[in-house]
Amino acid sequence: MIEVGHIKDKKTVSVEFKRCGVFMKISVRFTAAVHTLLCIDYFENERKVTSEFISKSTGVNAVIIRKILLQLQKAGLITTAIGSGGSRLAVPLKTVSLLDVFKAVNTDNEEREVFNFHPNPNEKCPVGSKIRKILDPCLEKAEKAMEIELSKTSLADLQKGLKKSP
């Protein structure tokens, strides 16, 4: 069960989550992008933060990290020097929410949809003909709840758990 936080209609959304049996799977790019941004912030004043370095921290292939870096750069969250110059933050962490990161690495509407519907329900079947009508409202509420929660947390909030010891 996903905690929906402090939204006005929390009870209804929680019931909808349970009733629909909602299980969300979000691309690994999102958590890897959060890790990447926090890694850049943590190390950028000590060393070059390259895709290879981030790859070792995240355990994600450097090719995928480079794609994530390009997406974060396109979203205006980082700057990257050509070659092995490394990456730096372009904006303060307090201005970047988890929703901003989610949107940065899921660039089109289809990628941003948390739930993908099976494409060809049988319209002649009494279940298949109504499944979208009965399930879509539930899924839309769940997606909205997720967006609300992601927008509440900044990367600076997460950074607090990484404070360096004196």
> Hey, how many other C-beta atoms are within 10 angstroms of the C-beta on 121?
15
For residue range 61-118, list pLDDT tens digits in order.
999 999 999 999 999 999 998 777 899 999 999 999 999 999 999 876 555 567 767 7
> Hey, how many other C-beta atoms are within 10 angstroms of the C-beta on 116?
10
User: Contact at 8 Å (CB) between 22 and 142?
Assistant: yes
91 or 162, which is more confident? 91
Assign 3-class secondary structure to 112-143.
HCCCCCCCCCCCCCCCCCCHHHHHHHHHHHHH
The predicted pLDDT at position 90 comes to 97
- Distance between CA atoms of residues 125 and 5, nearest Å: 38
The predicted pLDDT at position 53 comes to 96
Three-class secondary structure of residue 7 per DSSP = coil
For residue range 17-45, list pLDDT tens digits in order.
444 544 445 678 999 999 999 999 999 99
> Hey, how many other C-beta atoms are within 10 angstroms of the C-beta on 93?
18
Three-class secondary structure of residue 19 per DSSP = helix
- The pLDDT-based confidence of 1 (bands split at 50, 70, 90) is very low
Q: How far is CA 74 from CA 79, 116, 141, 145, in A?
A: 9, 26, 29, 26
